[in-house]
Amino acid sequence: MSANNDVSPALERDVLLPDLASAPRSEVAARRTRAAPSRIALFGLFGAGNLGNDGSLETMLGFLRRARPDAQLFCVCDQPEIVSRSMNIDTVPIRPLGPPSQSKFLRMLSKLRDAGHAWRHISKADLMIIPGTGILDDFGERPQGMPLKILTWCLAARLAGTKIAFVCIGAGPIRHRLNRWLMTWAAGLAHYRSYRDEMSRAFMESVGFDTTDDPIYPDIVFKLPVPAVSSSTSTDPGRLTVGVGVMTYRGWYGYAEGADQILDRYIEKLSEFVVHLLDDGYGVRLLTGELGDSTAVDALLARVRTARPQAAESIVAEPCCSLTHLMEQMSQTDIVVATRFHNIVCALKMGKPTISLGYARKNDVLMAEMGLGDYCQHVEQFSVPTLIEHFDTVVANRDALAQNVRQRVADYDRQLSRQEEFLLSEYL
């Protein structure tokens, strides 16, 4: 951040980043350094049930289809059949399909096979884009998972002469030393990198990475179109409805010892807060951000039904299949309390005063930029009385907070438009 505390992050970005949106078209065209790519690959952990990841892909696809309708697009992803069906795009699996081998020798050979698979497909592309997501953190990841896959595909792209662009990515924390080595090596191979917040760029600098030419833009999902629904009020004008984002959170590494206990404590405290809302006459709608969050929703509902059998029947808990669907659900709420980062992003896009129970600092950074930095706690240490205090304050000031959020979201949209112009001028 700027040393001058009077300069907002948004204004700081406006000073640092090229204002290509206002440049004449002839000037933008003159800045092209290569022929426009005819074939573009998009890479990421898509189709695996994480709505935030898939929303990042959907946002980038929307931009590319508008800006470069002539380009051939394909997606390198975790679940190609799902992505192909939901996004209407050609897909390639991140690694060749087949059961994992139990033999150490055959596992080594499979890594060579994976590298050959990556080179064979990425050599057909002029540009590989990694759109958004926390692609450079190791939440829930072992080294042989996404960290190695990212490096494999970036190395293959470099060898094939394919340009690489990391666009609005999240970075850090990367707590496992080998993960950090694999991921920073991959990032160093890119021709373009932009981060979704100052924290991500600062993390990369902290591990010795040169970010001199790497700009900061908001999370790419802030460019995802808002559904055509009212975002001003819930369905019941007589009472406020609170959207409560629920996550199946088992700690940073969900496979580590004590993971189930972490989830139990989180659900216990969150259900206590929901009971408080019901007792005070608020409506409650549960929100999710990943298919696996149904586990946490079921656990929370079971606790609330035990504590308040009749009141629990008024809770709305519907499945969710995309960020657009999530925003439609949020349109039926007045205030949102959430854990997942893209639950927070969508709530803000809908102009909702928001409270964060985050598992990483990315939530806190975004909330601070939105003027909501006072309403954050960490998911593993949050206090229910403090959460209730935050909630009461937000309720009392919800109109002013909502107005400020809408202004900041509009500014984010303008910043992302400038990045789109830059990508068009230099890479697309």
pLDDT of residue 262: 97
Rounded to whole angstroms, how far apart are CA atoms 23 and 29? 10
Q: CB neighbours of 19 closer than 8 A, spacing ≥ 6?
A: 418
141 or 12, which is more confident?
Answer: 141
Q: What is the pLDDT of residue 98?
A: 64
The answer to whether domain 32-216 and domain 241-409 are alike in fold is yes
* β partners of residue 192: 165
Q: Where are the beta strands (DSSP E) in 17-126?
A: 39-43, 72-77, 90-93
Contacts of 248 (CB under 8 A, 6+ apart): 263, 290, 292, 293, 294, 295, 296
Q: Do 159 and 120 form a contact (C-beta atoms < 8 A)?
A: no
CA dihedral 6, 11, 13, 19 (to 10 degrees): -150
Residue 69: cis peptide before it, omega within 30 degrees of 0? no
The correct CATH number of 241-409 out of 3.40.50.2000, 3.30.160.110, 2.30.30.100, 3.40.50.150 is: 3.40.50.2000
The domain spans of the chain are: 32-216, 241-409
CA-CA distance, 171 to 302, in Å (whole number)?
A: 36
Model confidence at 20: pLDDT above 90: no
Residue 232 has pLDDT above 80, yes or no: no
Name 325's Cβ contacts closer than 8 Å, sequence gap at least 6: none
12 — pLDDT class (breaks 50, 70, 90): very low
Q: Please state, in angstroms and rounded to a whole number, the distance separating the CA atoms of residues 299 and 156.
A: 44
- 197-210 pLDDT tens trace: 999 999 999 999 99
Collapsing DSSP states into helix, strand and coil, what is residue 372?
coil
Residue type, 105: F
CB atoms within 10 A of CB 131: 27
Residues 6+ positions from 404 with CB-CB distance below 8 Å? 370, 371
For residue 17, pLDDT beyond 80: no
Question: Which pLDDT value is given to residue 106?
Answer: 56
pLDDT at 107: 60
Task: Tell me 172's DSSP state.
Answer: -
Asked if pLDDT for residue 76 goes beyond 60, the answer is yes
Q: Name the least confident of 46-50, 236-240, 355-359, 360-364.
A: 236-240
| pLDDT over 70 at 6, yes or no | no
State phi, psi for 180 to the nearest 5 degrees.
-65, -40
Res. 36 pLDDT band, cuts 50 70 90? confident
Q: Three-state DSSP class for 320?
A: coil
Backbone angles phi, psi at 102, to 5 degrees: -90, -15
**pTM of the predicted model, to two decimals?**
0.88
What's the whole-number average pLDDT of the chain?
90
- How would CATH label the architecture of 32-216? 3-Layer(aba) Sandwich (3.40)
pLDDT band at 26 (very low <50, low <70, confident <90, very high): very low
Among the listed residues 54, 371, 339, 56, the one whose alpha carbon sits nearest the alpha carbon of residue 223: 56
- Residue linked to tokens 């009392």: 396
Q: How far is CA 68 from CA 39, 71, 273, in A?
A: 10, 6, 48
Helix (H, G, I), strand (E, B) or coil at 154: helix
pLDDT of residue 109: 64
Which of 34-38, 189-193, 216-220, 382-386 bottoms out in mean pLDDT, i.e. has the lowest? 34-38
Confidence bin at 104 (pLDDT 50/70/90): low
Residue 285 near residue 244 (C-beta atoms within 8 A): yes
Radius of gyration of the chain (CA): 22
- Going by C-alpha positions, the residue among 290, 341, 221, 248 that lies closest to residue 48 is 290
Over residues 298-348, the pLDDT tens digits come to 999 999 999 999 999 999 999 999 999 999 999 999 999 999 999 999 999
- What's the maximum distance between 2 C-alpha atoms anywhere in the chain? 67
pLDDT at 28 over 90: no
Q: How many CA atoms lie within 13 A of 397 on its CB side?
A: 16
pLDDT of residue 97: 72
Note the pLDDT of residue 5: 37
Q: Is the pLDDT of residue 15 over 60?
A: no
Q: Give the whole-angstrom CA distance, residue 74 versus residue 88.
A: 10
Structural contact between residues 327 and 222, judged by C-beta atoms closer than 8 angstroms: no
Which range is least confidently modeled, 1-10, 38-47, 225-234? 1-10
